[in-house]
Chain A
Amino acid sequence: MKDEKLLKVLIETNEKRENPVNPDILRQILSIIMLNPLEEDRGRSQDQIKHIITKTRE
C-alpha cells in the first residue's frame, strides 16, 4: 500500500537535501504507516520501522 503523491513529495524533498537517505526506505516507511494508521498500531509500526532501518543499514 502506498500513495504516489505522498511518496513523490518525500522523494523530491529527500533529493533536495544535502545528505539524502535511500529513497526506498521512505517508500517502505510510508507503506508501514498507511497500513498502521491508528494509535493502537504505533508500537507495531515503530518495531517495523526500526527493523527496516536496521536492515537497510546492513
Chain B
Amino acid sequence: MKITKIKLQNFGPFYDVHEIIFPSGSGVNIIHGNTGQGKTSIQRAILWCLYGKVLDRNGKEIPPTSLLNRSAFRDGNFAFAVSISFGHEGKNCVLTRKTAALVHQDRRYLHGMKSSLVENGDPVATTLSETRLKIERILPFNVSRFFFFDGEMLVKYEELLDQDSRSMRILRDSIEHILGIPYLRTARDDLYEVERKLEKELARLLRRIGGKDYDELAELYQYCCEEIERKKDLIKKLQGQIDSLEEEIATKKRRLTEIRSVQEDAIRRREIDSQIEMLETRGESEKIRLKNLNSGLYKTILSSTAKSIIDQLKLKHEKVMGKYNEKQQLLGKLKSLKHAIDAARCRFCGSILNPTKLKEFENEYKETEVKIESLTEIPEPNLVYETSARYLEKMRSQLVKSNEYGQIDEKLAEIAHKIASQKAILKQVEQKLIDVDEEEPFRLETRIRDEKEEVGRLKGEKSSVEDQLGEDFQTQSELNQKLARINREEINTLGEMIDYTKRISDVFEESIAVYRNKRRKEVESKATEIFREIRSKEDFSRLDINENFGLSIVTKSGTLLNRAEWRSAGEEQIVALALIGALNKCAKIEAPVFMDTPFARLDIAHGQRVLTYLPKMSDQVVVFVTDREFRKEDEVYLEGKIISDYSLEYRGEDEGSYIIMTSHIGGSA
C-alpha cells in the first residue's frame, strides 16, 4: 500500500477542501507544522478514512462532533469527508469516507456515514461493511499502530517492557499479527472446524445404519452367527439332558410298579398303626369318663336319704306357712273392720250414725282379735328348708344314670376287641415286610418327582433359548440387510479424510511455535541492527526479545538490562523505534510509515541518527515535525531522500489551517 493523495473536507482545522499529494517514488515526505496547526489531524483523518474511527492519545474514541471543522459548523454545514488515493498490489484505489448530519450530534453523524472503495475506476465496495472488509484485508486495524504512530505515544510501545501489562498483551497480539502468525492459527482452527464437520457427516452416515460402521456391523453379524451356533448346541445339550432324565423316570416308574405290593403293605402297616393308635386314644377317653362317673357315685348313694329329709322339712314348712298366711289375712281383716267402725260415727260430733252396723262391726272385730291372739306363737317361714331343697334339686341332676356304666363297659370291650384284631393284621403285614426296604417306593417316588421338576426346568430353559434363537435369526437377517445397504467406500473415505485433516492440522499446530520463534529471532536481529544504527553510544551488544516480545538490552559484558535499569526516557524511545522499524521490515504487510513528532524526546545526536535511518524504514515515510525538532540544516541527515515537503499554516479561526507545498521532488505532484 502506498498513499498518493489525501483529500480533506471540513476535517479538524481544515476548512473546506484541502489535499496533499505524495510523489510516487521512494523516500521521506516531510510535513512541517507547529503545535495546533493540524499535523495530528492529518494522521487522524487517514485513520478515520480507513477505519471510520479515531482514537485519542488515551486510547478513547474521538466523537464525530469533535472532528468537524469549527468554521463549517459555524456555517451550518454539518458534513465532513476524507478521501485517500493509494496503490495496492498494482491497483489504483480510492477510499472515500464522508458523513453528514442535519443536527450536530454524534449519533446523527454515525448514522449519516458512508464509505466506498474504487479500484481502477470500478467501485468494489459501496457500503460501510463492504469497505471495512476490503480495508481489513489491506491493512488490518490492529496492526495500523505500527504504521501510523505518534511520537508522543511511543510510551505505549515501551509498555512492551512491562511483561505483565495489558497493553503489552495487546501489543504482543498486534506484533504476532504483523508477523503473520495468526495465519497459522486461523488455518489450524479452520482445519479443526473442517474435521468437526467431517466427523458430523460421518456420524450422520453412521446414524443411518444404526450408529455403527461397516466393520462394527460385520463384527456384530459374526457375533450373531456364533451366538446362533452356540444356542443351537445349547438346545441340543438341553434336549439330551431332558431325554436322559425322562428315561431315568421311566426306569424308576417300572421299578415302582414292580415293588408296588411292598409299597401297599407298607402303607397298610402305617394305616393299621394309625388305627390302633386311634382306638387306644378312644379307650383312654372312655376310661377317663368312667373315672369321672366313679368320682360322683357318692351323690347317687346319698340321694334317697337326702330326699326323705327334705320331704319332712317340706311338710313342716307347709304347715307353718299355712298358719302364718291365716294370721296375715286376719290382720288385714282387723284393719278393715277398724275403718268400718270409724266410719259408723260422725267425723265431727262422734254421734253414732248406724248403731246396728256399728254393733255388728265391733263384735266381728273382737272375734278377729281373739283368733289373732290364738295364732300369736306361730314362727316365721323356715328359710333353711328352701336352701336345702335347691341344693338337693341340683344334686339330683348330677346323679349317675344306671345304664351309663354299662355303656362304657361295652365301648371299652369293643375297643379292646378292635385293637386286638388290628394287631393281629399288623403282625401278618410285618411278617411280609421283614427284610424288605419298605422306604424304596417312597424314595423312588421322591426322585421321580424331583426329576420331573428338573425336566420341567430344562424344558423351560430350552424354550427360552429357542425364543432367543428366533430373535438371533431375526437380528442376523436385519444385519444382513444393513450390510447389503452400506456404502462402505463412503464411510472409509470420510474416516480417511478425518485422519488426513488431523494430520494437516497437526502440521499447522506444530508450525506455530517454530514460525513464531523464527520470526521473533528475526525481529530481534533486525531491531538490534536498527538500534545500533540509531543509538549514539556503543556500550551494548544486542537487543533481546523474549517469548512474549518483551524487550531488554544486552550489554557487551552479557548483562541483560530490563526497563527499570535503563537510564532515560529517550533510551526507551530509541528501543521502541528500533522495534517498530524491525517490525516494519519483517511485516507481512506493505504500508507507508506515518510518524507524528518522532524526535520530541530525543537529544540532537539521537535525532540525527534517527533521521539518517528514516528512509530505510519503509518505501514511503511521512514525518510530521515541528520547526523545533526538525530544522532546515537537519535535511542533510536525510541525504537527499526527501521527496516532498509541506508546511501547515494556520490562518486564524475563520480560515483554519492550510497545507502548503514547499517542495515536490520525487515523481509527479
A residues near B, CB below 8 A?
Answer: 3, 5-6, 9-10, 12-14, 17, 19-21, 25-26, 29-30, 33-34, 37-38, 40, 42, 45-46, 49-50, 53-54, 56-57
B497/A38 in contact, CB under 8 A: no
> Is B518 located at the chain interface by the 8 A CB criterion?
yes
Interface residues of chain A: helix, strand, loop or mixed (majority): helix
B507/A53 in contact, CB under 8 A: no
B183/A3 in contact, CB under 8 A: yes
Which interface class (under 10, 10 to 19, 20 to 34, 35 or more) fits B? 20 to 34
- Residues on B with beta carbons closer than 8 Å to the beta carbon of A3: 180, 183, 588
Complex Cα spacing A10 to B184, Å? 9
Closest to A17 in B: B507
Closest to B588 in A: A3
A29/B504 in contact, CB under 8 A: yes
Complex Cα spacing A45 to B180, Å? 17
B residues near A, CB below 8 A?
Answer: 133, 136-137, 140, 180, 182-184, 186-187, 190-191, 193-194, 197-198, 493, 496-497, 500-501, 503-504, 506-508, 510-511, 514-515, 518-519, 588
- Residues on A with beta carbons closer than 8 Å to the beta carbon of B515: 5-6, 9
B507/A38 in contact, CB under 8 A: no
- Residues on B with beta carbons closer than 8 Å to the beta carbon of A38: 133, 136-137
**Could you pull out 11 A-B pairs where Cβ atoms are within 8 angstroms?**
A9-B511, A21-B504, A26-B508, A34-B183, A45-B186, A46-B193, A46-B197, A50-B198, A53-B194, A57-B493, A57-B500
Complex Cα spacing A21 to B508, Å? 11
A53/B180 in contact, CB under 8 A: no
B497/A42 in contact, CB under 8 A: no
Contacting A49 at CB < 8 Å: which of B190, B493, B496, B588?
B190
Closest to A40 in B: B133
Contacting A45 at CB < 8 Å: which of B190, B504, B514?
B190
Closest to A42 in B: B190
B511/A53 in contact, CB under 8 A: no
- Residues on A with beta carbons closer than 8 Å to the beta carbon of B193: 42, 46
Complex Cα spacing A54 to B501, Å? 10
- Residues on B with beta carbons closer than 8 Å to the beta carbon of A49: 190-191, 194
* 9 other A-B residue contacts (CB within 8 Å) besides A46-B190, A50-B198, A57-B497: A9-B515, A14-B507, A20-B507, A21-B503, A45-B186, A46-B193, A50-B197, A54-B497, A57-B496
Complex Cα spacing A42 to B185, Å? 12
- Residues on A with beta carbons closer than 8 Å to the beta carbon of B497: 53-54, 57
- Residues on B with beta carbons closer than 8 Å to the beta carbon of A14: 507
Closest to B586 in A: A5
Closest to B177 in A: A37
A25/B504 in contact, CB under 8 A: yes
Complex Cα spacing A47 to B518, Å? 31
Closest to B192 in A: A46
- Residues on A with beta carbons closer than 8 Å to the beta carbon of B191: 29, 49
A37/B194 in contact, CB under 8 A: no
Contact status of A10 and B511, CB under 8 A, knowing A3-B588, A30-B187, A49-B194? yes
- Residues on B with beta carbons closer than 8 Å to the beta carbon of A5: 180, 515, 518-519
Complex Cα spacing A26 to B506, Å? 11
B194/A50 in contact, CB under 8 A: yes
Min CB–CB distance B520 → chain A (angstroms): 13
- Residues on B with beta carbons closer than 8 Å to the beta carbon of A6: 180, 183-184, 511, 515
Most buried by A among B497, B500, B504: B504
- Residues on B with beta carbons closer than 8 Å to the beta carbon of A50: 194, 197-198
Complex Cα spacing A44 to B140, Å? 19
Complex Cα spacing A21 to B511, Å? 14
Contacting A37 at CB < 8 Å: which of B182, B500, B503?
B182
Min CB–CB distance B524 → chain A (angstroms): 15
- Residues on A with beta carbons closer than 8 Å to the beta carbon of B180: 3, 5-6
- Residues on B with beta carbons closer than 8 Å to the beta carbon of A10: 184, 507-508, 511
- Residues on A with beta carbons closer than 8 Å to the beta carbon of B493: 57
Min CB–CB distance B104 → chain A (angstroms): 33
Complex Cα spacing A29 to B505, Å? 10
- Residues on A with beta carbons closer than 8 Å to the beta carbon of B197: 46, 50
Contacting A33 at CB < 8 Å: which of B137, B183, B501, B503?
B183
Complex Cα spacing A21 to B194, Å? 16
Min CB–CB distance B414 → chain A (angstroms): 112
